Structure 1
Amino acid sequence: MSEVDDAIAAARSSWARISSADDGLFAPTERRAKATQAIGKRLTRIAIVDAAILVAAVVIGMFLPLGIMGALFFMALLVAATVTLAVWPAEDRAPPPPEKLRTADIKVLPAQTQRWLAAQRQTLPAAARGVAEKIAARLAVLSPQLGKIDPDTEAAFELRRLIGEQLPAFVNDYAQVPATLRTTARNGKTPDAELVDGLTLIEREIADMTERLAQGDLDSLATRGRYLEMKYRGDGETG
């Protein structure tokens, strides 16, 4: 987490020096998406998430024989992610405020953060919107994994800190930079570029957290698969 914290802290410090206390705030734009646009966005997210899960299955399969149980695991994850995105609340609902994200139940935190991030999309530069979409997809994959996590564990603490505190604070700090200064380089980098770099670090960290949370399930799956193979394949050979 230190790399992410350092990058965010550096960006916040830089933006604070060039922000105006009285004006320059980029007010969030009210978005009333049409039904067709909302469906298109929903389908795009489903496609991104499903593709990410399939790629993960292929990569893991290259190093670990998944077998039938592995295929069923990833199929269940695919269905869970698809259903979660299919029934996701419409984007025109009021997003949760950042202070609510800090206290949200860990099981619903990814969903709450995704709704909040979707509401900020119009305030982001074009280059950052693509990264924000990747973060939203990562959160959708992460959400089903949190049903059994203990909220008092270190993993839950780090997750809450990253997506419930650091991410909203990072984006809100960017919104305070006057629009005319967001493309002006300071110390070799523009606020727009700092935003993209910071969001990219956050997206990668969420991916790492998701993989760490899934490691126990994958190990258990592999162990059970080996047990079933020895038991039933052995019985078939002796019979």
Structure 2
Amino acid sequence: MPTDVDRQLAQADALLDRTRERYASVSKRSKQRREAEVLRRVGRIAAADGLILVVAIVFGVAVAPLGMMGALLVAALLIAATLFFAVLPVSAAPNVEKLAEVPLKALPVTTERWLETQRPALPSPVRGLVDSIGVKLEILGPQLALLDEKSPAAGEVRKLVGEQLPELIKGYARVPEPLRRVERNGLTPDQQLAQGLQVIDDEISEMSSQLAQGDLDLLATRGRYLQIKYQGDEASGPA
């Protein structure tokens, strides 16, 4: 018969497994995001360099030979284009002030993109939480596709994801850097940020679970209806 110690060990093992799964998911997502960004940057550089080479070849054939100076100019343009597109942001950062105008089903992904732009300015200890929130936002997005924009649940999602999360990050950013580790009312701004992000992470998880539960209830209801309808028809059919 399991003892209290055995049960505690089992609970600890379960907690460790959930933690490993969580951070494995975050790590995988971060890797995929970096790879996708690298591919987009390489694609832009290849397109720009290819266009420069095509124009140079057409000019050399149809107008006049490029010569040494022309070749040097083409090389300079290739280097400049490569450097320019290597540092240019892949996509424009979402405007956090316009999150209220974003359709509900696109709100989580749009907020996640904005949150990613804020990540480098946040303290290292909370970046794992930021990644965790990003993963949950990506999961939440498809769940909102059929949710009525005017429903109370939609209002709660907009308030948490589109208002409270950005306000927490913006409020932290307004605190001067030297004061972020100064304790006030028992907590430093760094600690307050971590606590706030943890609460938001938990709330998004709860929202996602509630939406999933609604889908599961609907599926179970539909399954019972089909079972009654078709199995009932078979039972009442000709012998």
Same fold (TM > 0.5): yes
For residues 39-50 of structure 1, the aligned pairs below 5 Å read 40-42=31-33
| Higher normalized contact order (CA 8 Å, seq sep 6+, divided by chain length) | 1
Percent of paired sites with the same residue: 47
1:1-239 equivalences in 2 (<5 Å): 40-42=31-33, 92-229=90-227, 235=234
- Report Cα offsets for 1:99-125 as digits up to 9, x if no partner: 111221111111110100000000111
**1:221/1:198 CA distance change after superposition, 3 Å:** same
Which amino acid is 1:114 matched to?
E
User: What is the distance in 1 between the residues matched to 2:161 and 2:133?
Assistant: 10
Paired letter, 1:122: P
Listed one character per residue, the Cα deviations across residues 121-141 of structure 1 (whole Å, up to 9, x for unaligned) are: 001111111111111111111
Q: CA RMSD in A?
A: 2.8
Larger C-alpha radius of gyration, 1 or 2? 2
Q: Aligned partners of 2:204, 2:198: CA distance in 1, in Å?
A: 10
Q: Specify the SS of the correspondent of 1:151.
A: coil
Question: Tell me, what secondary structure is at the counterpart of 1:196?
Answer: helix
How far does residue 191 in structure 1 lie from its aligned partner after superposition? 0.6
Unaligned runs of 5+ in 1: 1-36, 45-90
Distance 1:38 1:207, change over 3 A: closer
- CA 38–167 in structure 1, closer or farther in 2 if over 3 Å, else same: closer
Could you tell me how far 1:214 is from its partner in structure 2?
2.1
Instruction: Calculate the TM-score normalised by the size of structure 2.
Output: 0.59
- Name whichever structure is richer in helix by fraction: 2
SS for the counterpart of 2:164 is: helix
Shift of residue 210, structure 1, vs aligned partner: 1.3
8 Å contact kept, 2:109–2:141: yes
* Structure-2 separation of matches of 1:228 and 1:154: 30
- Give, in whole Å, the separation in 1 of the partners of 2:113 and 2:186: 33
- Give the TM-score, by structure 1 length: 0.59
Matched-pair contact (CA < 8 Å) for 2:29–2:135 = no
Q: Structure 2: where are the runs of 5+ without partners?
A: 1-27, 36-88
- Which amino acid in 2 is paired with 1:135? I
Offset of 1:215 from its aligned partner? 2.2
**Distance change (3 Å), C-alpha of 1:38 and 1:197:** closer
